[in-house]
Structure 1
């Protein structure tokens, strides 16, 4: 009966069939354990081995879940980082465009003042012209 349990553990899960990393190691350990069961062991020893195999399975599952949650976390962080950089870029571009607009208004105002001063200078230099 114990060797049936061992064979059941040898069946790859859906994740193992998909080739997820880490599961090959688990299968190798189970296969080595099955090969070692050709030596007759006591029932207590079989229970201990079964307990260790369950720990391996639980640990592998925990690592798989951690990998998935880590991937999800990094993907979310990456998306947030990208969005924040785009926002910073847009804000900076808007700021510079506003500066350009202000410079153009200042330039137009300066041009207008320069034209008025030029006309005033002309009038001061030629006071004989009647208006």
Structure 2
């Protein structure tokens, strides 16, 4: 089918070169004359319709790809923003947990220091009592 379309196009574009003598008798003048050939206009029209159909398909696909790219970019941007917000929230929550843990450790340390001081005082009293007896 493709070769038929090519052949029809060739027939439409075929030209004949005719050499004419001039009245002066020197050399010839070259004149290009289009040769009339019988072509099948129905085949040509069908080929044109198929070509136009393919071109329309190309346009629709191009439009679809463009729309998909734009929606993909938008979706990725939204996902990126959501990811960033979620990561910031996770970071903030973890930092608060660790700060609370640090606060509890400081309270525990202060309590241990207090108990240690009381124990030290108790030892000193016991040693003094033990030394006095």
The one of the two structures with greater contact order (alpha-carbon pairs below 8 A, sep at least 6) is 1
Question: Structure 2: any 5+ residue segments left out of the alignment?
Answer: 1-8, 14-38
Alignment equivalent of 2:100, drawn from 98, 102, 115: 98
Offset of 1:44 from its aligned partner? 1.9
Gaps of 5+ in 1: 1-35
Higher percent of residues as strand: 2
Runs of 4 or more, structure 1, over 4 Å off, are 38-41
Partner of 2:74: 72
Name the CA distance, whole Å, in 2 between partners of 1:43 and 1:110: 98
TM-score normalised over the length of structure 2? 0.62
How far apart are 1:119 and its partner, in Å? 1.3
> Hey, what does 1:44 align to over in structure 2?
46
Q: How does 1:1-131 map to 2 (within 5 A)?
A: 42-127=44-129
Which structure has more helix as a fraction of its residues? 1
| Aligned residues between the structures | 92
Q: Which has the higher mean CA deviation after the structures are superposed, 54-63 or 86-95?
A: 86-95
1:4-38 per-residue CA deviation (whole Å, 9 max, x = no partner) reads: xxxxxxxxxxxxxxxxxxxxxxxxxxxxxxxx8x8
Higher CA-based Rg:
2
Give the superposition deviation at 1:117: 0.9
TM-score normalised by L of structure 1: 0.63
